[in-house]
Structure 1
Amino acid sequence: MDHDHFFPQPTREIAEKRAALAPEALEAWRNFSRTVYKEGALPEKYKQLIAVAVAHVTQCPYCIRSHTALAVRKGATQEEIMEAIWVAAEMRAGAAVAHSALAMDEMEKLAGK
């Protein structure tokens, strides 16, 4: 099934319009992004693996595609990328389990009334 119609393809025209509408904010974001992903205490490959995992949690299709490609370019293997995705899936599922305490608390409050 083709889901491309849900998300417009990034184009030069979209990028140019975004830049024209908020040039200072876009430049600040670009500088921030360059700073965050450059080699530091964490190698660039690890940073891209983190980005792949987070992209799956935030469910950003553009981020999934771009950071997967960047992770591969920085030397990540398919196995490393898939493991990062599974870590993200576990964290997302774990959050749902942990937050069930809120529902349990609310149910107990309502039962006590």
Structure 2
Amino acid sequence: MATVEFIEYEEGSPEVREVYDDIMTTRHVDWINNFWKALAVQPELLQRTWSGVKEVMTPGALDALTKELIYVAVSVTNSCKYCINSHTAAARKKGMSEEMLAELMAVVGMANQTNALANGFQIEVDDVFQHGGRAPK
């Protein structure tokens, strides 16, 4: 159960309705999901978060499906049930197959396992891996 009352479109202030309208237009939907309704209890937070999501999730050097897959992977690692479900649905709309989802979960699981081992053993980073494989400036 949510810790705040959801703000429905009809109950929203003009600022909230403006963000809701932009969400629906951008996503080509006629409804607002619960995440945004919860954030609308603080209109500034709603606006700031929507602006950030809209900017970051717009295709750029990474295509829209890749960005959704990354979002799912991070959400799994952070145990965010809401984000796992909403971004899995978004990834499916953008072309993710069941095989891709299964492979993504295998990579997430392996990355979490090897990250925990590297952290637990406090393994120093190899010189060749320093700076992301780029020579320092």
Shorter-chain TM-score above 0.5: yes
AA at the equivalent of 2:115 = A
How many residues end up aligned between the 2 structures? 93
1:76 match: 96
Question: Which of the numbers 11, 16, 19 marks the counterpart of 2:40?
Answer: 19
**Highest RCO, 1 vs 2 (Cα 8 Å, sep ≥ 6):** 1
> How large is the RMSD of aligned CA atoms in angstroms?
2.0
Q: Provide Cα deviations, 1:6-60, integer angstroms capped at 9, x if missing partner.
A: x55xx8446545313x211221110100111111111101111111111111110
Higher helix share: 1
Residue 78 of structure 1: how far off its partner (Å): 1.0
Which residue in 2 is equivalent to 1:39? Answer: 59
Any stretches of 5+ residues in structure 2 without a counterpart?
8-33, 123-137
Q: TM-score, normalised by structure 1?
A: 0.72
CA change 1:17–1:46 in 2 (3 A) is: closer
CA drift of 1:65 comes to: 0.2
**Percent identity of the aligned residues?**
32
Q: Deviations over 1:73-100 (max 9, x none)?
A: 0111111112111111111111111122
